[in-house]
Structure 1
Amino acid sequence: MTRWLMIAACLLAAPAHAAISVLDDDGATVVLQQPARRIVSLAPHVTELLFAAGGGDRIVGTVRFSDYPAAARNIPRVGDNRMVDIERLVALKPDLLVVWRHNASVRQMDQLRKLGIPLFYSEPRRLEDVADAILRLGRLTGTMPQAQQSAAQLRQQLDGLQARYRHRPLVRVFYQVWDKPLYTLNDRHIINDAIRVCGGENVFASLPLVAPSLSPEAVLQENPEAIVSADRQDQSTSGVEMWKRYPSMLAVRRDNLFALDADLFNRSGPRIVAGAAQLCEKLELARKRRGERP
């Protein structure tokens, strides 16, 4: 009898030791004693990742511009990805915060960390990292079946892009984040990886800052074959229009000024693979125009 009592006691005690442990994108270990039930998402792309992982119904708070999928629009807001209303956030009693490291207020993140709420930093730097992020969030929410399905679909789409474009002729690309002020992204950003997958070369990949500011003269000196930006739907004019004043530039001469959908391409969530597919099509168009224009 004593032996069976000991076995039963061990079985009852086991769940207490079944902690969930994952690494975030900063290399820190995030530990939960049970799957997260009340999550605050502090970036739009994080909200999309959580829904893809099957944890959308666990999100009790999020930030401005978290508008996809449609169900995300009904989640209470606690600020934006630069400033959070900490009192409102704490009132939601979250058991997990998922944050975007590079756009979060360092001071506020320090405050939140002192509250003892587990923090998971999300900053995918390669397209393949998005699928991995979905799986890790699936572990934290206890929704692995849906997370595995979403990650597999995403990897299949990415594999298709890589197979189609990996051997295409190189296209030198300037990626324009914004025009006032003018700045771009280096090779430590996920958009650089999208350019690479599409057979492009980011002309400013080697700059030391992730998002360096530039002068128009620096871009003119590089003379890229294509200029790409991601525009919001409410923009009246695309940011790439500014380059039309430089008709001698190769990208202008060949009409390779391309605007992508910002919601797809500027968010490091599941839809960025669809954004990369848009980019690949534009760069393929640039290749075709080599024989049509000087």
Structure 2
Amino acid sequence: MWLGCTSPIADSLSKSPAISNRIVSLSPNITEVLFALGAGPRVIAVTRFCDYPADALALPKIGGFIDPSFEAIVSQRPDLVIGTKNTAADGVATRLSDAGIAVHLFPMETLADTRSAIQSIATLIGNKKQGDELVTQLDAGLADVAARVQQTQRRRVVVLFGHRPMVIAGPHTFVDELITLAGGINIAAGAKLAYPTWSPEAVAAALPDVIIDTSMGSETVAAADFALQWERWVDIPAVKRKQIVHLADTSLLRPGPRLVQGLLILAKTIHPEAFETK
């Protein structure tokens, strides 16, 4: 299913212990991967955004995804820290490595990245079999959902991550790939950036059939209010078809074990007719 998969080049800044019993996660999707691999009991701290599974909510917090605290991490006495590649993680990872703590950062921007990261993390923590099984389950689940919409007419889709500014899913991202698997065409597939900023006018000019808002937190807008924002563009197919939707499910935002759930939600939103009970 995930074609062209290669092993990601993870930043391994120091040697990992033979068996890691005190693991700190630097991102929500890494937390989900660790629990899905059966390593939940070994996870000792997570970010304040790690809300799935429920057991993660009770764990000590080491800051956020973009502002992890070096001091908070060290205070937990971890023997392994795992995160995703981003500027904030790179900075704290260097300091942790200098302190003698094993750190591994994985790129997880695409489905291929995610697949390889899961397998690499599984091997790293001694749960290779669970990693292989999880990837096999993901492959089968994604293929099953994609098959449901294979015969549908593709619809033009835009997925928004925020309003101020309006950030949307661009090319070479897992969301772009999910749109394709869900029977859609990403209107920003030709953009130069992975997460470009567009004006509402630019989105309207692209004539999307479906507008999907995934914004959360302070930028969350009531579904009815969000739909009203687009009413002035009466020629947008999404407005005519009343296909302006707010989806507040984190599985759409995290490349990890719940990708199948995210794809199913996306496919049902883009092609509800493919899932109607006959």
The separation in 2 between residues aligned to 1:150 and 1:264, in whole angstroms, is 16
Contact between 1:24 and 1:120, CA under 8 Å: does it hold in 2? no
Contact between 2:118 and 2:131, CA under 8 Å: does it hold in 1? yes
The separation in 2 between residues aligned to 1:98 and 1:267, in whole angstroms, is 15
Q: Answer with 190-199 or 99-108: which moved more.
A: 99-108
The separation in 1 between residues aligned to 2:141 and 2:41, in whole angstroms, is 26
Amino acid at match of 1:95: D
Query: Gaps (5+ residues) in structure 1?
Result: 1-22, 289-294
Of the candidates 168, 177, 181, which is equivalent to residue 152 of structure 2? 168
Q: Answer with 172-181 or 32-41: which moved more.
A: 32-41
The structure that has the greater radius of gyration is 1
Deviation of 1:135 after TM superposition, in Å, equals 2.5
Partner deviation per Cα, 1:168-188 (whole Å, 9 max, x = no partner): 322111111111211112112
Amino acid at match of 1:55: A
The separation in 1 between residues aligned to 2:231 and 2:37, in whole angstroms, is 43
Q: Give 2:20's aligned residue.
A: 36
SS for the counterpart of 1:117 is coil
Partner deviation per Cα, 1:210-238 (whole Å, 9 max, x = no partner): 21111111112111111112254994513
Of the candidates 161, 177, 181, which is equivalent to residue 193 of structure 1? 177
The separation in 2 between residues aligned to 1:198 and 1:136, in whole angstroms, is 27
Partner deviation per Cα, 1:31-65 (whole Å, 9 max, x = no partner): 53513221110111110011011111111111012
Of the candidates 98, 121, 135, which is equivalent to residue 119 of structure 2? 135
Amino acid at match of 1:246: W
Q: Give 2:129's aligned residue.
A: 145
Cα separation, partners in 2 of 1:33 and 1:42, compared to 1, 3 Å: closer
Q: Give 1:101's aligned residue.
A: 85
The separation in 1 between residues aligned to 2:197 and 2:205, in whole angstroms, is 15
Q: Give 2:3's aligned residue.
A: none
How many aligned residue pairs are there? 266
The separation in 2 between residues aligned to 1:39 and 1:243, in whole angstroms, is 45
The separation in 2 between residues aligned to 1:236 and 1:175, in whole angstroms, is 15
The separation in 1 between residues aligned to 2:39 and 2:96, in whole angstroms, is 22
Contact between 1:186 and 1:192, CA under 8 Å: does it hold in 2? yes
Q: Give 1:237's aligned residue.
A: 222
Q: Answer with 43-52 or 172-181: which moved more.
A: 172-181
SS for the counterpart of 1:34 is coil
Q: Tell me: higher relative CO, structure 1 or 2? Use CA pairs within 8 A at least 6 residues apart.
A: 2
Deviation of 1:205 after TM superposition, in Å, equals 1.6
Q: Give 1:11's aligned residue.
A: none
Contact between 2:213 and 2:246, CA under 8 Å: does it hold in 1? yes
The separation in 1 between residues aligned to 2:149 and 2:273, in whole angstroms, is 13
Partner deviation per Cα, 1:104-148 (whole Å, 9 max, x = no partner): 354333323333433222332334554443322221111233333
Deviation of 1:102 after TM superposition, in Å, equals 2.9
Amino acid at match of 2:117: A
Cα separation, partners in 2 of 1:82 and 1:280, compared to 1, 3 Å: same
Residue 234 of structure 2 is aligned to residue 250 of structure 1: no
SS for the counterpart of 2:197 is coil
Cα separation, partners in 2 of 1:205 and 1:140, compared to 1, 3 Å: same
Among the aligned pairs, what percent are the same residue?
28
Cα separation, partners in 2 of 1:245 and 1:35, compared to 1, 3 Å: farther
Contact between 2:159 and 2:211, CA under 8 Å: does it hold in 1? yes
Deviation of 1:27 after TM superposition, in Å, equals 4.6
Amino acid at match of 1:122: F
SS for the counterpart of 2:214 is strand
The separation in 1 between residues aligned to 2:207 and 2:27, in whole angstroms, is 34
Of the candidates 34, 46, 59, which is equivalent to residue 62 of structure 1? 46
Q: Give 1:224's aligned residue.
A: 208
Of the candidates 60, 63, 70, which is equivalent to residue 76 of structure 1? 60
